[in-house]
Amino acid sequence: MKFSANLGFLFTDLSLPDAIHAAKTAGFDSVECHFPYETPPAEMKDALAQTGLRMLGLNSWPGDRAAGDFGLAALPDRVDEARREIARAVEYAVAAGVEAVHVMAGRTDGGPAAEACFRANLNHACDLAAVHGLTILIEPINTRDVAGYHLSGTIHAERIIDELARPELKLMFDCYHMQIMQGDLAKTVEHLMPKIGHIQIAAVPDRGEPDRGEVDYRWLLAYLAVLGYQGFIGAEYQPRGKTEAGLGWIRQLKSA
């Protein structure tokens, strides 16, 4: 398996370019991030060139986190803002050499207006991405951590992907979120494999290093290999201490 360091959670004491170099030194095969917008895209691109790593994805801007925002794309009263941020994410990705944009839905009442808004904005995002060969990702997020998040299950995500029928649109399957919401990870991933654009891992329930907890990642990742998954596994966990001190799991899972 090939592992990607999510720099939204890992090496956060470093600047983004330095974090890319740290991920390379630590043995990661690629990187991904959350909100890189304070870093000039040329600086990210240079760090990627120097290390030979790929930057797999970034997130659209979530809005005002202090005010409770966790994404904008499904908020009917903020369409203009959501589309500006989607455009900014796509432009940054193109400039920096990032391969995918995760469009964050946000917290909603789950009603039809929010769903229609989300789908319209995803279509718009796919229109922008198609010009540049980018992937648009949607990610179900558990409602224990993010109450009211519009997209919280794979059945909903699968329906959106099927009905929009956009080749640019893929599923980001985060094992941490989906163990909390659904469980049955192996069979769920097997069913969804044709629609998956990226997989992420973290321990459940503490979201720490993926070396303990409810999910046996040694077994699950071996099963993904049997299923033919050839993508990267995103390490999107919150280190229990310093990032460097908790990296023993990489050797364990690669040996599996």
- pLDDT digit string, tens, across residues 129-144: 999 999 999 999 999 9
Known catalytic residues?
Answer: 139, 236
What is the residue whose two structure tokens read 């995002």? 125
Please report the pLDDT score of residue 189 as a whole number. 98
Mean per-residue pLDDT over the chain, rounded: 97
pLDDT band at 14 (very low <50, low <70, confident <90, very high): very high
What one-character DSSP code corresponds to residue 215? -
| Phi, psi (degrees; rounded to nearest 5) at 72 | -130, -15
Distance (Å, rounded) from C-alpha 250 to C-alpha 256? 10
| Phi, psi (degrees; rounded to nearest 5) at 103 | -90, 115
Please report the pLDDT score of residue 21 as a whole number. 98
- Which pairing describes strands 169-174 and 2-6: parallel, antiparallel, or unpaired? unpaired
Model confidence at 97: pLDDT above 80: yes
Please report the pLDDT score of residue 254 as a whole number. 83
Read off the pLDDT of residues 66-84 as tens digits, 9 standing for 90 and up. Answer: 999 999 999 999 999 999 9
Q: Considering the entire predicted model, what is its pTM?
A: 0.97
Please report the pLDDT score of residue 2 as a whole number. 96
Q: Above pLDDT 90, what percent of the chain?
A: 98
Please report the pLDDT score of residue 65 as a whole number. 95
Distance (Å, rounded) from C-alpha 172 to C-alpha 190? 14
Model confidence at 31: pLDDT above 90: yes
Distance (Å, rounded) from C-alpha 61 to C-alpha 217? 30
Distance (Å, rounded) from C-alpha 117 to C-alpha 77? 9
Residues 252, 47, 55, 229, Cα dihedral to 10°: -40
Q: Is 181 helix (H, G, I), strand (E, B) or coil?
A: helix
